[in-house]
């Protein structure tokens, strides 16, 4: 009978060990898949308490300041749960690893962190060499009795201490009485601590790599904006606008948006794509990116043209003076007033032509055919070069640039600018993006495509583009329309920007569903209130926006 009892106890013990090992494996698998740091730490502590049947426990992490920070505290019998996902802040001061330059070996958690070895204490009140005065004060205030302590270091793959796991008051499974931590408890706790440290390290490495990657992306975007003072802030604002529109689309049931349910990872992918959408501009020449006037190259050639006008006036004045002297010598003074009037009219004409050319050089939304013809007429004036050569007043290149119908860029220069999208796609295609960022090249490389297949560079149609790629296109356009930091154009008002965007929707240049959401959800207003100048914030009447379908709710 006694043999059976001993055999039964041994089997129960073996089964208990197997069950605990099985639980350890289960916890390890859970730790490896957990993405949230707070939840990860909570799983570590709860798992360790379950394995050792402990009443209480604490997790500390080591800081760069050589201290141990309280991350998680649990005491079941007192109902204490602090840190982690509880939302309860731990206000306890961090434990110093050194005091006055000397190792702090009196505090058990600091001792374990410094020595890198586990410490198992059967009874804190009888322990020698450690300062448990704080523990005893806690017990006195709460009526608790802190007895057995198992403190285990958390070591990373480089054998560096990254934290400490402390378990308190192991309980007998049958009686519930407080007992000492045995060898099996310590082995299981150390095994879990090893797995926990790997999981924590992996999580930190992933977080560090993500932070590094995003910082690198933002540095590139910042460098592009710094390269051109005329697009400063563009790469900062497009991600903000894209994020706003993506979230609005996820809330909407309009059109294709009803099936758009992005996760936080999906939204992060959109933000990354928005940050990188103009990375190809690193290859765009500055003289094109920064071309604020039509005649600008390395310098603004308008100054050279203005000098020619001054030469025309000088030559006219010289000719006038010669004629005046001849009239005076011939005694024909009565003809001088007519000559002076003719001279004044000629100078006024030169000044008027000069003002016209200077105005034409500034660019704008539209240059009429009449104004272009006037440039052609002025170009046929003759003047003498410094070498004395009789030449046309404007050369072919100057006429070609001054007659740009819209903006400041020629067709060829626009092609150079547009090439940045090709460069963006080429650059991004060489980056081995992880699975959660695999769509970044498609999103970032499609922001100049249109819904009707007339865009750049691949002439994609709407059904060939992802919804996030179409979000990028609207964000890019609206930011450009409202930008106030481009000296070659005046910042447009909110209503004018939406009017232009509406015509683009009607011309099938931007996505109709996203356009509807952009207006209906007032994404434009959320963005404008934070990023537009006060004078741009005029009244917006949805009924006057081209292409917008006014809902019955708005009509009411």
Distance separating alpha carbons of residues 68 and 114, to the nearest angstrom: 11
Hey, what CATH class is 228-279+432-555 in? mainly alpha
Main-chain phi, psi angles of 86, to 5 degrees: -70, -25
Q: Residue 75, SS3?
A: strand
CA distances from 272 to 35, 236, 432, 433, 547 (A): 20, 11, 14, 11, 30
Main-chain phi, psi angles of 472, to 5 degrees: -60, -40
Q: Residue 370 belongs to what H/E stretch?
A: helix 369-379
Query: pLDDT of 90-108, one tens digit each?
Result: 999 999 999 988 999 999 9
**DSSP type of residue 155:** E
Query: pLDDT of 39-60, one tens digit each?
Result: 777 877 888 888 889 999 999 9
Residue (of 309, 405, 316) closest to 358 by Cα position: 309
pLDDT averaged per 10 residues in sequence order, the chain, 556 residues:
60 60 61 65 82 92 93 94 89 92 93 95 93 92 95 87 93 91 89 78 80 82 70 84 97 94 94 89 77 84 92 92 91 90 94 94 86 95 89 93 89 84 88 90 93 92 96 94 77 93 95 96 95 93 91 60
Find all residues with CB under 8 Å of 349, minimum gap 6, and list them: none
Distance separating alpha carbons of residues 36 and 250, to the nearest angstrom: 23
Distance separating alpha carbons of residues 3 and 425, to the nearest angstrom: 77
pLDDT (0 to 100) of residue 19: 61
Residue that has been written with the tokens 């059904």 in this structure: 463
Tokens standing for residue 327: 């009239």
In three state form, how does the secondary structure of 417-438 look?
Answer: HHHHHHHHHHHHHCCCCCHHHC
Report domain extents, the chain.
16-206, 228-279+432-555, 302-408
pLDDT (0 to 100) of residue 1: 46
pLDDT (0 to 100) of residue 257: 95
Q: Are strands 149-155 and 119-121 parallel, antiparallel or unpaired?
A: antiparallel
Tokens standing for residue 492: 């447009």
Q: Residue 452, SS3?
A: strand
Which CATH number among 3.40.50.1820, 3.40.50.300, 3.30.450.40, 3.40.1110.10 corresponds to the domain 16-206? 3.30.450.40
Q: Could you tell me the pTM of the whole model?
A: 0.65
Distance separating alpha carbons of residues 92 and 112, to the nearest angstrom: 19
Tokens standing for residue 302: 């308008």
CA distances from 543 to 335, 479, 540 (A): 67, 22, 9
């Amino acid at each position: 009978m006694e043999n059976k009892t001993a055999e039964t106890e041994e089997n129960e013990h073996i089964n208990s060990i197997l069950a605990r090992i099985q639980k350890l494996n289960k916890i390890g698998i859970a730790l490896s898949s957990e993405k949230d740091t707070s939840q990860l730490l909570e799983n570590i502590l709860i798992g360790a308490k379950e394995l050792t049947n402990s009443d209480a426990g604490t997790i500390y992490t080591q800081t760069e300041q050589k201290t141990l920070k309280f991350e998680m505290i649990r005491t079941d019998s007192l109902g204490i749960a602090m840190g982690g996902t509880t939302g309860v802040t731990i206000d306890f001061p961090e434990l110093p690893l050194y005091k006055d330059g000397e190792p702090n070996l009196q505090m058990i958690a600091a001792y374990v962190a410094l020595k890198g070895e586990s410490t198992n204490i059967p009874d804190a009140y009888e322990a020698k060499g450690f300062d448990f005065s704080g523990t005893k004060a806690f017990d006195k205030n709460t009526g608790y009795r802190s007895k057995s302590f198992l403190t285990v270091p958390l070591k990373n793959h480089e054998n560096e201490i990254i934290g400490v796991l402390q378990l308190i008051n192991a309980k007998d499974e049958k009686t519930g009485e407080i007992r000492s931590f045995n060898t099996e408890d310590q082995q299981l706790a150390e095994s879990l601590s090893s797995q926990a440290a790997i999981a924590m390290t992996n999580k930190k490495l992933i977080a560090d790599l993500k932070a590094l990657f995003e910082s690198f992306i933002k540095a590139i975007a910042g460098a592009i904006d710094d390269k051109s003072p005329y697009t400063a802030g563009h790469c900062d604002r497009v991600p903000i606008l894209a994020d706003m529109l993506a979230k609005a689309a996820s809330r909407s049931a309009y059109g294709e948006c009803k099936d758009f349910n992005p996760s936080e990872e999906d939204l992060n992918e959109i933000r990354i794509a928005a940050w990188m959408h103009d990375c190809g501009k690193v290859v765009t020449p500055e003289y094109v990116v920064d071309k604020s006037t039509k005649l600008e190259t390395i310098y603004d050639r308008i100054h050279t043209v203005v000098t020619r006008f001054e030469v025309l006036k000088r030559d006219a004045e010289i000719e006038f003076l010669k004629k005046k002297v001849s009239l005076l010598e011939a005694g024909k003074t009565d003809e001088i007033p007519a000559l002076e009037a003719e001279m004044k009219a000629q100078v006024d004409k030169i000044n008027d032509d000069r003002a016209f050319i200077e105005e034409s050089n500034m660019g704008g939304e539209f240059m009429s055919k009449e104004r272009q013809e006037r440039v052609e007429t002025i170009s046929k004036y003759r003047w003498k070069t410094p070498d004395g050569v009789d030449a046309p007043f404007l050369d072919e290149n100057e006429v070609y640039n001054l007659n740009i119908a819209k903006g400041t860029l020629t067709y060829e220069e626009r092609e150079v600018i547009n090439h940045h999208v090709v460069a963006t796609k080429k650059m991004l295609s060489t980056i081995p993006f992880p699975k959660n960022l695999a769509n970044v090249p498609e999103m970032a490389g499609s922001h100049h495509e249109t819904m009707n297949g007339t865009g750049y560079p691949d002439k994609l149609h709407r059904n060939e583009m992802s919804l996030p790629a179409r979000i990028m296109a609207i964000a890019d356009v609206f930011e450009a329309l409202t930008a106030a930091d481009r000296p070659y154009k005046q910042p447009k008002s909110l209503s004018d920007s939406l009017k232009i965007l509406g015509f683009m929707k009607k011309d099938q240049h931007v996505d109709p569903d996203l356009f509807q959401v952009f207006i209906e959800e007032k994404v434009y207003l959320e963005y404008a209130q934070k990023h537009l100048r006060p004078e741009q914030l005029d009244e917006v009447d949805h009924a006057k926006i081209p292409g917008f379908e006014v809902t019955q709710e708005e009509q009411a």
